Amino acid sequence: MQKTSIVIASLSNDFEYTKESIESIRRFTEKGTFEIIVVEGGGAEEALTWLAEQTDIRSLFSENKLTLGNAWNQGAQMAVGNFVVFMHPDTIVSPQWLSSLSDALNQNQQLGAIEPLSNIGEDGQTGNLHFASMEEMLSHANELYRNNVHVEEKIVLSGFCFMLRRNTIETIGEFDVQLEGKAMIADYCLRVKLAGLSLGICSNAFVHHYGVHQIKEEQLYASYFSNKWGFSIEETRIEDSTVQLIKRTTEDTFKVLIMGRGIGGTSLKLKQLFPHAEVYGCSWNGNLNKASDLLFPFMSCTMIESSLLWDQHFDYIILNPGIEIEYVEVLPTAFALLNKGGRLITEIANANNCSLVKRILLGQGLEMGKKYWNMADIPSLFENAGFQELDFDYVMNEVGEQSASLTNELGQFVGQLPQEFDISSFLITAYKTSQDKILHTLFKELLSEPTDAVLLEIFTNSTAQILSSLERYEGPVVSILNYLGISNFEKKQLDEVLPYLTKACELDPLNSVTLINLATLMYTIGEDEAALEWLNRLEEKDEQIETWIKEIEHNIYSHKLAANIVKFLLRRIENEVDREEAYSELIMLLSKNTVSIQDIIRSVEVDIIHKTATLNRMAVNCFSSGEYDYVIPLLEKSYSLDPEDVDTLFNLGYILYKFGANRDALNFLTQIDEPDGDIIDLQKEIEVAINHEQQ
């Protein structure tokens, strides 16, 4: 059996986070597959006492204060596992986290290191996630685990929780202790890549990171990194906010120029999202090109000298934060390099930002290499360069208790704070040509000679921009709205259908095409009553519409009848009234497709008091009756409602074992805090089966 050494550096006095992290590992990780190594360098008495009492933890105590790099290096030297996980002490794991990471490494020998998804979105991960409870977090993690495994390549990892093979560590060597924080992680990741290995995020592993032990970046570490590698650590960043403003499909072909910092990480993200795009990079000041020999192995774009830019024209230019020249100098050049319908995208730091005021009050000063702008000064900056139109999006502050308190106190002091006080930065899309001019031409083409190319060009704009432009268009707007709505419907982009159709209905409430399209959408997503309401608004109904109305009315009646029957039968099961007959009738309804498993789950959520007990009884009965397709959805719902319910954990473990999913089965069984003899016997039986599989 492969084993993983989990190395945790406990370097602060806030030991409660470390204890919570360790308890989550014990609870959610298959026994016998890991060892925990804690390197204690914080010196807290509570930590020393507690760790000394733990028989399942290998602890290393240091009398001297340690850096994170020192602690991880010492922990790695103690590791005996095939894999090693380096983890911050404020990290909470979830079921299947470890097996998902190790499976990803086992399936790809070129993968050097991998990290899970987390609640803190950075460098290309999803946005920040907030959970109301541990149960909500576990439910999210469980949903991710059920998805298909996908590993997204990265240049550097976030660094608070990642796994490597032990032989990779032996090849790459120790962490550079002259670096700390992200600089140390970036250095190690680049060394892994220079060894010919890749780095990635595992899509079906999830951990929760509190983020309280983030190491503050100091200019010393950034300078040392730059001297060592010949380029700034900022080159490894993904400027994800700007990339997300490019509204294209994966099949589109277009040209992008990245100017400024973050070319390496941003170009990789662009090629992942848009594999057919031509991506170019230019540092503008030439510093990056001087470091090209070292940085080029990590690039996913063609680097181009600023003097050669005039031979090219681009659909998009991404101007990244940290560019070492003034916007007033670079914007006219960017304008000239864009195609007629081209766009410049950039992120500009807000000078009236709460976090900036906080830094100044705390004596931390402005961030190095960052320029700040007032919102009122931005339009003229772009207008003077020739741009015809601007779109503003916003990156909001993550507001903690301290920031909220500061905002309230400042508000009382000055009377009224700037409207943009909670905005961290502005995301600017600057258009070389007025979007109305471009879109109005496209609208005419759509009506006269509709093609996929015209539609694709229209949809490179946001829905809000398209709707805004249609307000100023002198033509058959309702027809265009319906065309665009149904085009999204045919592409199964259902979230993008309703804005167009509701706007069409607002302009002409009795338009028959709009009403039928709205009814079609509602009917497709299962909203029969809403579909019926739209159809009944038609002033004239032909035979086909009348038939459809009758069909929907019958569906509504049948669904309500079935829902009442399901509620009645579930309550009999819950209250032990003719339980066996109720089981049989529900299973018969399922087998005849009169009701779905989701109907039963919805009814349990709404109508039943003892939800997990009822779901478990139904699951066990379905399993006994051979209706295997219904068993796991019922138990997964029960698990999402109460991840600590012993019956749910046992049933998931037993049934998954019977289905041959041995490791998943053992993961659930090991989450039971106080297993009885039967559970322990089942665990041992499954462990034997797993060992047999690996022989």
Equal CATH topology for 435-540 and 558-694: yes
Which residues 6+ apart lie within 8 Å of 264 measured at CB? 155, 235, 236, 295, 298, 299, 300
What's residue 439's pLDDT?
Answer: 94
Name the 3-class secondary structure at 506. helix
What are the average pLDDT values for consecutive 10-residue runs of the chain, which has 695 residues?
Answer: 88 84 91 91 80 91 87 94 94 91 93 92 60 79 78 88 95 93 91 91 90 64 84 79 88 90 84 92 60 57 79 90 68 92 91 76 66 87 92 75 59 64 88 92 92 90 91 94 94 90 95 95 91 94 93 89 89 89 88 86 92 93 88 91 91 90 85 87 86 68
User: Would you give the distance in Å from CA 99 to the centre of its chain?
Assistant: 20
What is the residue type of 354? C
Which sequence spans correspond to the domains of the chain?
Answer: 4-229, 235-431, 435-540, 558-694
The answer to whether 78 touches 37, Cβ cutoff 8 Å, is yes
Q: Residue 107 carries which side chain, given as an amino acid letter?
A: Q
The bridge status of strand 372-373 relative to strand 338-350 is parallel
Per-residue tokens: 191: 């060394």
Question: Which residues on adjacent β-strands are paired with residue 162?
Answer: 86
- Name the nearest CA neighbour of 564 among 596, 603, 614, 590: 603
Q: Reduce the secondary structure of 525-575 to three states and give it as a string.
A: CCCHHHHHHHHHCCCCCCHHHHHHHHHHHHHHHHHHHHHHHHHHHHHHHHC
User: How far is the C-alpha of 653 from the C-alpha of 668, rounded, in Å?
Assistant: 5
Rounded to an integer, what distance in angstroms lies between the CA atom of residue 529 and that of residue 553? 8
Q: Is 490 left (phi over 0), alpha (psi -120 to 50) or beta?
A: alpha
Top-level class of domain 435-540 = mainly alpha
DSSP label at residue 127: P
Residue whose structure tokens are 């960043």:
237
DSSP 625: T
Query: Is this prediction's pTM over 0.75?
Result: no
pLDDT tens digits, 419-453: 677 788 899 999 999 989 999 999 999 989 889 88
Task: Output DSSP code: residue 495.
Answer: G
In tens, the pLDDT along 264-291 reads 888 888 988 999 999 998 876 555 444 4
**Helix/strand/coil (H/E/C) assignment for every residue in 198-250:** EEEEEEEEEEEECCCCCCCCCHHHHHHHHHHHCCCHHHHCCCHHHHCCCCCCC
4-229 is classed in which CATH architecture?
Answer: Alpha-Beta Complex (3.90)
Spatial contact of 95 and 142, defined as CB atoms under 8 Å apart: yes
What pLDDT is stored for residue 125 in this prediction? Answer: 52
Neighbour count for residue 287 (Cβ, 10 Å): 14
DSSP 395: E
Could you read off the pLDDT of 57-82 as tens digits, one per residue?
Answer: 999 988 888 889 999 999 999 999 99
Which distant-in-sequence residues (6+ apart) come within 8 Å of 561 by Cβ?
none
Helix axes 463-471, 498-507, angle to 10 degrees: 20
What does DSSP assign to residue 175? -
Residues 116-149: tens digit of each pLDDT: 999 876 654 555 677 777 778 887 887 787 777 7
* HSE-CB of 300 using CA atoms within 13 angstroms: 21
Pairing of strands 57-61, 111-118: unpaired
What residues are paired with 92 via a beta bridge?
208
Q: What is the pLDDT of residue 442?
A: 94
Class of domain 235-431: alpha beta
pLDDT at 695: 58
The pLDDT assigned to 292 comes to 47
Q: Is 11 helix (H, G, I), strand (E, B) or coil?
A: coil
Distance, CA of 581 to CA of 49 (rounded, Å): 58
Locate tokens 């099961």: which residue? 573
d(CA 615, CA 607): 12
**CATH for the stretch 558-694:** 1.25.40.10
pLDDT tens readout for residues 623-669: 988 888 899 999 989 998 998 899 999 999 999 888 888 888 888 88
Q: Is 301 strand, coil or helix?
A: coil
Tell me the HSE value of 546 on the side-chain side, using a 13 A CA sphere.
Answer: 5
Check residue 368 and give its pLDDT: 63
Among candidate residues 67, 2, 78, the one with its CA nearest the CA of residue 36: 78
Instruction: Give CA–CA dist 628/363, Å, rounded.
Output: 63
Own/partner contacts of 217-223, CB < 8 Å, gap of 24 or more, are: 217/181, 217/182, 217/183, 218/180, 218/181, 219/368, 221/179, 221/180, 221/181, 221/183, 221/184, 222/183, 222/368
